[in-house]
Amino acid sequence: MIEKKRLNLFKRWLFLIFFVFLFLVIQSTEILTFFFNSKPVLVFPFAICCSLFLKKEEAAIFSFLCGFFLDCYNNFIFGFSSAVLLIFCTAISIIFKKYISICFFSVLLLNFSLFTIYSFLLFTFKYLFLGIENVFNVWLFSFVPNIIYTTISSLFIFFLSKKLCYNEKLHIKEPKQKFIRKKLTKEKRMKYGR
């Protein structure tokens, strides 16, 4: 039983890392520039969507790995994407899952808001500090389309991450058991007049 769990965990992590590399290859090829002027960043929403289904520790490790690969791909400040994704995904796995239900609208809104923050931080460190001219045009014609395309792609990535990371025991049975326990305690209180 324990060996089967370990094997399933190993397979899941193997698939997750495979898709991170696949997304990096796709976003680095010229296929997407044929369709879009600006390329969507596919690894970022994949880390965000997977952290909705992973445990806290797994989400932290996976987001750090995704950020590490993004840093290698971007040739920017090493550790920037790792730190940002680590903070975002850990916060999602701790806070977001408890208070907001996972649906299409919440996933789109979450990816849009977090990737906008990430893009603004990237834009600030990369362009504003260097004093490049026409900074507004860079934001409008490079970063804004990138945010839109990445947010749209996050919807498809959400289905993939749900398929890879969704655990029925964690996401269905535990909340039901908690609900049953709370219901029983309320019934006991009413029975004993407390």
In which band, very low, low, confident or very high, does the pLDDT at 176 lie, cut at 50, 70 and 90? very low
By the 10 Å C-beta count (0-12 exposed, 13-18 middle, 19+ buried), 153 is classed as: buried
pLDDT tens digits for range 18-59: 999 988 888 877 666 555 566 788 899 999 988 888 888 888
Instruction: Provide the pLDDT for residue 180.
Output: 46
DSSP 8-state class, residue 39: -
In which band, very low, low, confident or very high, does the pLDDT at 129 lie, cut at 50, 70 and 90? low
> Alpha-carbon distance 123 to 141, whole Å?
12
CA 156 remoteness from chain centre: 13
* Whether pLDDT at 175 is above 50: no
pLDDT tens digits for range 65-96: 999 988 888 777 788 889 999 999 988 888 87
In which band, very low, low, confident or very high, does the pLDDT at 113 lie, cut at 50, 70 and 90? very high
Predicted TM-score of the model (pTM)? 0.77
